[in-house]
C-alpha cells in the first residue's frame, strides 16, 4: 500500500509517499524560512499564503518521484495541532485528491507523526527501530514533551513544557544575540566553540519530581545578562552555557522517565533533535545507564510529510478512516486532558 502524506501545520509545506512498512518513496519539503526570517518567527498569515503557493508544486514533485497519483492507495493529512490557516491548505488539498480519486482519507495528529518517525526507512540511511514500548523526547520549535509510546499510533504524555518550547527558546536567545532565524542551528554551531562554564545561568526547572519543563526563566536570564553586559562580541560562551542548560534538563528528564517507567529505550524527535550537544549528551547518559538510544536521521526529525503518511498508514491498518468532513484543530484535544489516547 502506498500512502500520500501532506503536512502544512506550520512553516513547511510537505508531501511524501510512503509504504505501509515505512519505506520512503518520495519526501519533498518546501521551507518558508526565508519568508519568516525578517520577523524572527513564523507569521501565520504569511505562512498560509506561502502554503497556497507551494502546495501544488510540492505535491507534483513527490508524485513524480514515486510513480504518479495512479499508484496512490490512500491520503493522510495533518489535522493539527498547528496554525489553522496553514492546516486548512493541506486539509483542503487532501480532501480534493481523496474525493477526485475516491481514495480513503485519514487525518493525523502532527505529534503522533513525530512519535513514530523513527520507523521511516530512507535510502542510504541505516534503519534502527525500537521495540514497543519506548520513551520519546519530542523537541521542536512548537513542542517539548516526553511520551510513553505504547502501541502503533498510541502514546501517553508524561510531561511537557509549561511555557516556551525548547526550539522557541533557542530561537529567542538567537534573536537577543542578533544571530538570525531559526536560531537553533547557529547557537549549536557557536556553542561547540564556547566554554559553558564561562557564564553562570540558572538550571531551568531541573527537579526530577516533575517531567514538565520550563524555559522562559532561562531565556530571561540570558536577556538580563545581555542587558547588563551588552551583546557579546563573541557569543560562543553564552551560547554554550545556554545550550548546556537546555540539553541537560532535556536529557536528565528523559532518562529519568526511562528509569521510572522501566523502559530502557529512548527515541529523539523534532527539529531540536538535530542539536549536536543534545545528541552527544543523550548518547553518553544512555550508555552510562544501559538505555538504547534511537536518533532518526535529521530529515525524519524535522517537519516532514513522510511521518504523516506513515502515521496515516498505522491508522488505516487499524481499520480507521475519516470522511470529507475531517476538521482541523489547533491543539490536540486529547493532549489538553493530559493524555493522547489514539492518533485521531
Peptide bond into 133 cis (omega under 30): yes
As measured in angstroms, the least distance from the Cβ of 102 to ligand KG4 is 32
Stretch that binds ligand KG4, among 90-98, 117-125, 260-268, 269-277 (CB under 6 A): 269-277
As measured in angstroms, the least distance from the Cβ of 187 to ligand KG4 is 6
- CA-to-CA distance for 291 and 271, rounded, in angstroms? 22
As measured in angstroms, the least distance from the Cβ of 1 to Zn ion is 25
- CA-to-CA distance for 16 and 4, rounded, in angstroms? 6
As measured in angstroms, the least distance from the Cβ of 277 to ligand KG4 is 8
* Vertex 267 angle, CA 300 and 313, to 5°: 55
Please tell me whether residue 79 adopts helix, strand or coil conformation.
strand
As measured in angstroms, the least distance from the Cβ of 186 to ligand KG4 is 9
Sign of CA dihedral 120, 121, 122, 124: positive
Task: Let me know how many helices (H) and strands (E) the chain has, helices first.
Answer: 12, 10
- Is 2 or 36 the residue whose CB approaches ligand KG4 more closely? 36
Give the one residue of 109, 164, 171, 322 binding ligand KG4; rule: CB under 6 A: 171
Q: What is the DSSP string of 260-296?
A: HTT--EEEEESGGGG-HHHHHHHHHHHHHHT-EEE--
Q: Are 42 and 33 in contact (CB under 8 A)?
A: no
Site residues for Zn ion, 291-310, by CB under 5 A, read 303
170 contact choice in Zn ion, ligand KG4, none (CB below 5 to 8 Å, kind-dependent): ligand KG4
As measured in angstroms, the least distance from the Cβ of 305 to Zn ion is 11
As measured in angstroms, the least distance from the Cβ of 68 to ligand KG4 is 28
Distances (CA, A) of 166 to 23, 143, 145, 243: 30, 7, 10, 10
**What are 192's three cell numbers?**
561547540
Stretch that binds ligand KG4, among 101-109, 177-185, 323-331, 332-340 (CB under 6 A): 177-185
Distances (CA, A) of 204 to 214, 217, 260: 6, 7, 21
Site residues for Zn ion, 108-147, by CB under 5 A, read 140
270 binds ligand KG4 (CB under 6 A): yes
167 binds ligand KG4 (CB under 6 A): yes
- Is 138 or 222 the residue whose CB approaches Zn ion more closely? 138
- Strands (E) located in 93-225: 105-109, 134-139, 144-151, 154-160
Q: Are 145 and 138 in contact (CB under 8 A)?
A: yes
274 contact choice in Zn ion, ligand KG4, none (CB below 5 to 8 Å, kind-dependent): ligand KG4
- CA-to-CA distance for 132 and 226, rounded, in angstroms? 45
302 contact choice in Zn ion, ligand KG4, none (CB below 5 to 8 Å, kind-dependent): ligand KG4
10 binds ligand KG4 (CB under 6 A): yes
- CA-to-CA distance for 238 and 215, rounded, in angstroms? 16
185 binds ligand KG4 (CB under 6 A): yes
140 binds ligand KG4 (CB under 6 A): yes
Stretch that binds ligand KG4, among 14-22, 66-74, 86-94, 183-191 (CB under 6 A): 183-191
As measured in angstroms, the least distance from the Cβ of 71 to ligand KG4 is 28
- CA-to-CA distance for 312 and 3, rounded, in angstroms? 8
Count the site residues for ligand KG4 by CB under 6 A: 19
Give the one residue of 81, 182, 204, 296 binding ligand KG4; rule: CB under 6 A: 182
As measured in angstroms, the least distance from the Cβ of 139 to Zn ion is 10
- Is 140 or 243 the residue whose CB approaches Zn ion more closely? 140
- Positions touching Zn ion (CB under 5 A) are 140, 303
| Interface residues toward ligand KG4, by CB under 6 A | 10, 140-142, 167, 170-171, 182-185, 188, 270-272, 274-275, 302-303
Amino acid at each position: 500500500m502506498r500512502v500520500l502524506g501532506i503536512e502544512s501545520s506550520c512553516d513547511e509545506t510537505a508531501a511524501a509517499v510512503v509504504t505501509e512498512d515505512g519505506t520512503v518513496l518520495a519526501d519533498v519539503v518546501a521551507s518558508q524560512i526565508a519568508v519568516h526570517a525578517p520577523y524572527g518567527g513564523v507569521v501565520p498569515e504569511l505562512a498560509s499564503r506561502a502554503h497556497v503557493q507551494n502546495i501544488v508544486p510540492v505535491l507534483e514533485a513527490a508524485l513524480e518521484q514515486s510513480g504518479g497519483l495512479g499508484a496512490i492507495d490512500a491520503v493522510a493529512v495533518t489535522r493539527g495541532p498547528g496554525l489553522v490557516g496553514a492546516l486548512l491548505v493541506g486539509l483542503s488539498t487532501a480532501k480534493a485528491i481523496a474525493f477526485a480519486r475516491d481514495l480513503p482519507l485519514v487525518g493525523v495528529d502532527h505529534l503522533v507523526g513525530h512519535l513514530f518517525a523513527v520507523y521511516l526507512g530512507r535510502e542510504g540511511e541505516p534503519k534502527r527501530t525500537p521495540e514497543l514500548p519506548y520513551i520519546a523526547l519530542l523537541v521542536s520549535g512548537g513542542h517539548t514533551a516526553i511520551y510513553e509510546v505504547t502501541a502503533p499510533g498510541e502514546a501517553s504524555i508524561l510531561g511537557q513544557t509549561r511555557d516556551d518550547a525548547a526550539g522557541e527558546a533557542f530561537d529567542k536567545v538567537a534573536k537577543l544575540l542578533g544571530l538570525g532565524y531559526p536560531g537553533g542551528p547557529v547557537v549549536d554551531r557557536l556553542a561547540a566553540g564556547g566554554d559553558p562554564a564561562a557564564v553562570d545561568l540558572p538550571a531551568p526547572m531541573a527537579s526530577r519530581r516533575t517531567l514538565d519543563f520550563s524555559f522562559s526563566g532561562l531565556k530571561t536570564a540570558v536577556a538580563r545578562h545581555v542587558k547588563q553586559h551588552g551583546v557579546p562580541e563573541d557569543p560562543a560562551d553564552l551560547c554554550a552555557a545556554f545550550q548546556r542548560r537546555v540539553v541537560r534538563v532535556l536529557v536528565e528528564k528523559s532518562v529519568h522517565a526511562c528509569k521510572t517507567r522501566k523502559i530502557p529505550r529512548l527515541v529523539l524527535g523534532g527539529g531540536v533533535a538535530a542539536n549536536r550537544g543534545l545528541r552527544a549528551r543523550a548518547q553518553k547518559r544512555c550508555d552510562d545507564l544501559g538505555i538504547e538510544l534511537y536518533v532518526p536521521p535529521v530529515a525524519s526529525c524535522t517537519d516532514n510529510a513522510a511521518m504523516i503518511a506513515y502515521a496515516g498508514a498505522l491508522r488505516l491498518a487499524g481499520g480507521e478512516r475519516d470522511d470529507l468532513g475531517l476538521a482541523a484543530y489547533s491543539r490536540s484535544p486529547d493532549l489538553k486532558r493530559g493524555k493522547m489516547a489514539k492518533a485521531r
